[in-house]
Chain A
């Protein structure tokens, strides 16, 4: 295999074939918690992707220096550092998003998606491949969040780009009655279940 293809492969693997949400069912907690609005889901995806890239970069750089016995604590400290930096930056520059994501930002630390990539990939591979892998996994996660948040916002609120009144688009007329269940956590499960079924059907159909 040519070296160029390796990077591309590392990058795209996380998008569909090994999508952290639709295939591995990782990171369910933020997935269900913050996908009430498209903007929140996207923000969460970007924050998680940034942390994943940072984590894979540092861990693959230090992979020969990290002793095997204490690798997990070190991974967690690295991830936690990035998460805290992201949280502070969000509060400073994206206050509305910070307020909306709330406790789910610090919880990125325990997103199995990130630790999984570090343990399974970055700790054994060179820097560029690890970052490509991390970026792919992050984007795959973001993709899943965005799709779920889109479905939930449209059905649960009847809007797009909400809840900020400056950007919100009302999709339906004034008599539209939102399916409130989709705005609530139970609705997130239902929507996720339907999306998983759809995803699996497509995977089978196209033989991916």
Chain B
């Protein structure tokens, strides 16, 4: 008994000494740490809001929102500090919005995405596509912004989080009105709605009876099946149980969950006549036609936008046929570029037309090469056959 007491006392003593030391160290370092964090943050603010005077912090469930004011106390914009669930943990970032809710820029604070793959989210090319967009834009992969093949999860997470953040900021701080749906006002019937999920659109069918949502079914989606089960049927069940769209979407597949809620909202808005029915508009690519037979023999250069930058090609025409295509310059990722080159030039030369399948591992690059070749040939024709002949 004495022995046990002695040992416990010694351990307690060690613990007390250790705790004292740590408290002392904490007191010394904490003010420095806090000051440095504040300075870092002010630097970031200064970058996006030059000449700002003060800010006011609002903490929401989605993250921290700072309202930025100038000297005259006019609102300059909003700086959001939020997290997106990436491939491997949270991507913490700042999103800067101007006073009308348009994106000024973003700043990745920390992330743990795979080096060389998921860290494309830090690239300017990826981030710049969001600048100028606001809560009024779809900010949806494949519509007005692109996600990056090979890093789908990381980039889609950013797209979805940015869309959500612009909406949250607009609704909470910019007096943008939210249409509140009163289920009781919706006439009985079955309605279809659509909204962006994590990867692609989610289409739902909502059945309303006696002013209550009684059934929700997902008709179509493109989400990854193993994740989608985390959101479906849980989310529809929650909506039906609570008879509200304000349900907890924190699941193993939050992006899909939010997509389902938005699709249901879309269906009900259409039912109430508050939103036009969405017609699927297949995007028709404008066909560019170049008759290769009319191009005089020679070597021509042309360029077009690839995935990350311009692609410059040299095209050799002989006897009314393309006989050689060489890429002179490009800025695309080498690993992906290989998927399109030389496969795409070989296909063009073989088929002697441009309506070829560009669905490779690097579609953006492939399409860029085709466009660059078209550019070279149309240049050759427009210059009356002069071109840049060798």
Interface residues of A (CB under 8 A from B): 36, 65-67, 69-70, 73-74, 77-78, 80-81, 84-85, 88-89, 91-93, 95, 99, 102, 156, 177-178, 180, 183-184
Q: Shortest distance in angstroms between A92's beta carbon and chain B's nearest beta carbon?
A: 4
1/0 per residue, CB under 8 A from A, across B2-26: the answer is 0000110011001100100110011
Can you add 17 more A-B contacts, CB < 8 Å, to A88-B29, A156-B115? A65-B10, A70-B10, A77-B15, A78-B14, A78-B18, A81-B18, A81-B21, A85-B22, A88-B30, A88-B33, A92-B29, A92-B32, A95-B36, A99-B110, A180-B335, A184-B114, A184-B115
User: Which partner residue on chain A sits nearest B8 by CB separation?
Assistant: A70
CB of B11 within 8 A of CB of A84, answer no
CB of B26 within 8 A of CB of A69, answer no
Known: A85-B25, A92-B33. A184 touches B18 (CB 8 A): no
Q: Verify if B142 is at the interface (C-beta below 8 Å from A).
A: no
Q: Verify if B287 is at the interface (C-beta below 8 Å from A).
A: no
Name the residue among A66, A67, A88, A95 with the largest chain B CB count within 10 angstroms: A88
By a CB distance below 8 angstroms, the chain A residues around B11 are 70, 73-74
CB within 8 Å: A-B pair count? 60
Interface residues of B (CB under 8 A from A): 6-7, 10-11, 14-15, 18, 21-22, 25-26, 28-30, 32-33, 36, 40, 110, 112, 114-117, 334-335
CB of B22 within 8 A of CB of A84, answer yes
Q: Shortest distance in angstroms between A172's beta carbon and chain B's nearest beta carbon?
A: 13
CB of A77 within 8 A of CB of B18, answer yes
CB of B116 within 8 A of CB of A180, answer yes
By a CB distance below 8 angstroms, the chain A residues around B28 are 88, 92
Chain A interface, >50% SS class: helix
CB of A91 within 8 A of CB of B29, answer yes
Q: How far is the CA of A85 from the CA of B29 in the complex (A)?
A: 9
Q: Shortest distance in angstroms between B111's beta carbon and chain A's nearest beta carbon?
A: 11
By a CB distance below 8 angstroms, the chain B residues around A92 are 28-29, 32-33, 36
CB of A67 within 8 A of CB of B32, answer no
By a CB distance below 8 angstroms, the chain B residues around A184 are 114-116
CB of B334 within 8 A of CB of A89, answer no
CB of B26 within 8 A of CB of A88, answer yes
By a CB distance below 8 angstroms, the chain B residues around A177 are 334
Q: How far is the CA of A136 from the CA of B47 in the complex (A)?
A: 46
By a CB distance below 8 angstroms, the chain A residues around B114 are 184
Known: A89-B25, A177-B334. A67 touches B33 (CB 8 A): no
Which 10 pairs between the two chains have the least Cβ-Cβ distance? A180-B116, A92-B32, A92-B29, A88-B29, A81-B18, A85-B25, A183-B115, A177-B334, A92-B33, A70-B7
Q: How far is the CA of A193 from the CA of B26 in the complex (A)?
A: 40
Chain B interface, >50% SS class: helix
Q: How far is the CA of A184 from the CA of B115 in the complex (A)?
A: 7
CB of B33 within 8 A of CB of A91, answer yes
By a CB distance below 8 angstroms, the chain B residues around A156 are 115
By a CB distance below 8 angstroms, the chain B residues around A69 are 7
Q: How far is the CA of A85 from the CA of B25 in the complex (A)?
A: 6
By a CB distance below 8 angstroms, the chain A residues around B116 are 178, 180, 183-184
Q: Shortest distance in angstroms between B6's beta carbon and chain A's nearest beta carbon?
A: 7
By a CB distance below 8 angstroms, the chain B residues around A84 are 22, 25
User: Which partner residue on chain A sits nearest B17 by CB separation?
Assistant: A81
By a CB distance below 8 angstroms, the chain A residues around B115 are 36, 156, 180, 183-184
User: Which partner residue on chain B sits nearest A184 by CB separation?
Assistant: B115
What are 25 A-to-B residue pairs whose CB atoms are below 8 Å?
A36-B115, A70-B10, A70-B11, A78-B14, A80-B18, A81-B18, A81-B21, A84-B22, A85-B25, A88-B26, A88-B28, A88-B29, A88-B33, A91-B33, A92-B32, A92-B33, A95-B40, A99-B110, A156-B115, A177-B334, A178-B116, A180-B116, A180-B117, A183-B115, A184-B115
Q: Shortest distance in angstroms between A196's beta carbon and chain B's nearest beta carbon?
A: 23
By a CB distance below 8 angstroms, the chain A residues around B334 are 177
CB of B14 within 8 A of CB of A93, answer no
CB of A85 within 8 A of CB of B6, answer no
User: Which partner residue on chain B sits nearest A70 by CB separation?
Assistant: B7
Q: Shortest distance in angstroms between A137's beta carbon and chain B's nearest beta carbon?
A: 23
By a CB distance below 8 angstroms, the chain B residues around A180 are 115-117, 335
User: Which partner residue on chain A sits nearest B22 by CB separation?
Assistant: A84
Q: Shortest distance in angstroms between A62's beta carbon and chain B's nearest beta carbon?
A: 9
By a CB distance below 8 angstroms, the chain B residues around A89 are 25, 29
By a CB distance below 8 angstroms, the chain A residues around B117 are 180
Q: How far is the CA of A9 from the CA of B360 in the complex (A)?
A: 62
User: Which partner residue on chain A sits nearest B6 by CB separation?
Assistant: A67
Q: Shortest distance in angstroms between B332's beta carbon and chain A's nearest beta carbon?
A: 12
By a CB distance below 8 angstroms, the chain A residues around B15 are 77
User: Contact check: which of B30, B32, B40 meets A93 at CB < 8 Å?
Assistant: B32
Q: How far is the CA of A102 from the CA of B90 in the complex (A)?
A: 14
User: Which partner residue on chain B sits nearest A36 by CB separation?
Assistant: B115
